[in-house]
Amino acid sequence: MTVESVGALVKRTLPQIVAVLAGTLAAISDGMQYGWTAPVIPILLGPNSPVEVTPAQTEWLETLLMLGSFSGLSLTIFFVDRIGRKRSLLLSSFVTLLVWLVTALAPRVEYIFAARAFSGAAGNMAFVAAPMYVAEIADQKIRGFLSSIIYLMMLIGVLIIYSVAPFVPFYAHCVIGGALVSIELIVFPFMPESPYYLLYKNKPEEARKSLQWFRPNQNVEKELEDIKAAVQRQVTERGKPQDLIMVPSNRRAILIMAILNWAQHFSSISVLFMNMHVILEAAGSIYMANSIAAILFAVIMLVAASIASICIDKFGRRTLLILSSILTGLCLLVIAIYFTLKNMEYNVAAISWIPIVSVMLYACVFKLGLGMVPIVLTAELFPAKMKAMGMTIADGMYVTSSLLSLLIYQKLKDSYGMEYPFYIFSISCFFAALFTALFIPETKGKTLEEIQFILKGQKAPRKSVDSA
């Protein structure tokens, strides 16, 4: 692709880029919530804590975020189809704004408990509605890039909370998080709703205006007819919960997302995010302060994710997934072997740099594929009738696998040694690479309608303008 063609593509898709950026600003705030406990718990346990907190109470601060995500599953399914993708994102942002306000002013830790639970529910809704919205407005040539922006925003949030929270008054990071969602609440209402959703709700004229806004100076009639045909075909299919299992194409989609969401967390990402200080301390690494290591880890992830967002529409989903899974597995295998040698009382002082280097390499290779591609595929694989339910269940699997990975890590580490969970995480990555090679189709450059034919094992009747 030439420089001129890239420039022309950006100019042609600029309204889509603007809408996606406006609609995913709250993901920065969600990233701050996800990484919040690592820098904030030491503050809450310190002498200048704004509220009185016990060590036992701090353990609930991570758990309640996940439990809040679970509690929001049914509401997410209801809202994204009832009020739309756009309004669901705005509702999520409004709740998140209240969360930051309560957190900043909380007189007791119970208020923060409630805020964390509501934050989990709001984040769940955002991470379902945003990929749906993006996939349904995006030009197929940049759909992968636009779909990955939400993860880039989340990583920016993690970096912000790591870099800011330890060094400023407690309320300051809450002001930053609240300001971000406030900007989305001000700007995003001016963006159109997804034309896909509008046609799903039988609003053809509004869908035409929406598509014209996203495709300026283009004749949208052909694409509008393609979307209409796709929606009409998909909504005539059964849309009951059991159809995720009974319909072969839906079953294949939910299996793919179950394995990928499982693989993401069983590649140890949640474990490293929430226990990096403990892991590096156990490794005996003396080459970098833990706080600096955490910031560097987040920076490397953000850079790698940015590169992946550019490459995902060039090299394809499968290539990045396979390569990333293999390299991530190798990084974790090195960490496991190091801890094995250390626990066997070998002198590892001369190679104590290996764990921190492996962790930083992990940050790079994980986000090049395994940490980015699943969010893109989630929005591509489910048909219109099953999209809300399928994506929400996939998000539930994401939360479940996160909790299980943390539980397995703690149990094995405490009972047998630090190396055992990392051997399991490494094997999981290699399995993810094999599964991708054998079962996951390439969706690069395909319309949402064509992807459904691929999942059904059928050939699309004709090549059409992107209906997403």
pLDDT at 183: 96
**Burial of residue 52, with CB atoms counted within 10 A of its CB: 0-12 exposed, 13-18 middle, 19 or more buried:** exposed
pLDDT at 182: 96
Q: Which residue has the higher pLDDT, 10 or 61?
A: 61
Tracing tokens 């922006």 back to the chain, one arrives at: 149
Which of the four CATH numbers 3.40.225.10, 3.40.50.1370, 3.90.1330.10, 1.20.1250.20 does domain 10-197 have? 1.20.1250.20
Q: Which residue has the higher pLDDT, 384 or 30?
A: 30
Mean pLDDT (the chain) is 85
pLDDT at 113: 95
Indicate the pLDDT class of residue 462, thresholds 50, 70 and 90.
low
Spatial distance between the Cα atoms of 390 and 394, rounded to a whole number of angstroms: 6
Indicate the pLDDT class of residue 194, thresholds 50, 70 and 90.
very high
For 392-408, write each residue's pLDDT tens digit: 777 778 888 888 888 89
Which of 137-151, 189-203, 415-429, 453-467 bottoms out in mean pLDDT, i.e. has the lowest? Answer: 453-467
Spatial distance between the Cα atoms of 55 and 197, rounded to a whole number of angstroms: 46
The answer to whether residue 204 scores a pLDDT higher than 60 is yes
- Encode burial over 122-149: b for 16+ CB neighbours within 10 A, e otherwise: bbbbbbbbbbbbbbbbbbbbbbbbbbbb
For 92-135, write each residue's pLDDT tens digit: 999 999 999 999 999 999 999 999 999 999 988 998 889 889 98
The answer to whether residue 284 scores a pLDDT higher than 50 is yes
Task: Residue 168: count other Cβ atoms within 10 Å of its Cβ.
Answer: 12
Range from 194-208, 240-254, 300-314 that averages highest in pLDDT: 194-208
Cβ partners under 8 Å of residue 412, min gap 6: 420, 421, 424
Name the H helices within 384-418: 384-415
pLDDT at 234: 66
Which of 90-94, 290-294, 418-422 bottoms out in mean pLDDT, i.e. has the lowest? Answer: 290-294
Q: 127: phi > 0 → left, psi -120 to 50 → alpha, else beta; which?
A: alpha
Indicate the pLDDT class of residue 460, thresholds 50, 70 and 90.
low
pLDDT at 237: 57
Spatial distance between the Cα atoms of 217 and 311, rounded to a whole number of angstroms: 28
**Burial of residue 362, with CB atoms counted within 10 A of its CB: 0-12 exposed, 13-18 middle, 19 or more buried:** buried
Spatial distance between the Cα atoms of 249 and 71, rounded to a whole number of angstroms: 28
Spatial distance between the Cα atoms of 81 and 200, rounded to a whole number of angstroms: 9
For 257-276, write each residue's pLDDT tens digit: 889 989 988 998 888 877 77
Q: Which two tokens stand for residue 272?
A: 């490293």
Give the max Cα distance, the chain.
72
Question: Is residue 44 within 8 Å of 58, Cβ to Cβ?
Answer: yes
For 154-185, write each residue's pLDDT tens digit: 989 989 998 998 888 999 999 999 999 999 99
- Domain-wise residue ranges, the chain: 10-197, 238-468
Question: Is residue 39 within 8 Å of 167, Cβ to Cβ?
Answer: no
pLDDT at 117: 93
Cβ partners under 8 Å of residue 381, min gap 6: 253, 256, 257, 390, 443, 451, 455
The answer to whether residue 286 scores a pLDDT higher than 70 is no
pLDDT at 396: 79
Q: What is the pTM of this model?
A: 0.78
Q: 446: phi > 0 → left, psi -120 to 50 → alpha, else beta; which?
A: beta
Cα 40 to Cα 35, 48, 58, 104, 414: the distances in Å are 9, 12, 10, 12, 24
Q: Which two tokens stand for residue 414?
A: 């405490």
- CATH architecture, domain 238-468: Up-down Bundle (1.20)
Compute, in degrees rounded to 10, the torsion defined by CA atoms 43, 44, 50, 53.
Answer: -160
Indicate the pLDDT class of residue 189, thresholds 50, 70 and 90.
very high
Task: Residue 173: count other Cβ atoms within 10 Å of its Cβ.
Answer: 25
What's the chain's length in residues? Answer: 468
Between vectors from CA 406 to CA 405 and to CA 408, what angle results, nearest 5°? Answer: 65
pLDDT at 468: 38
- Both ends of the chain: CA-CA distance in Å? 22
What residue ranges in 85-143 does DSSP mark as E strands?
Answer: none
Tracing tokens 């990071």 back to the chain, one arrives at: 173
For 35-75, write each residue's pLDDT tens digit: 888 788 888 988 888 998 988 888 788 778 878 887 887 78
For 208-237, write each residue's pLDDT tens digit: 999 999 998 888 888 899 888 878 876 665
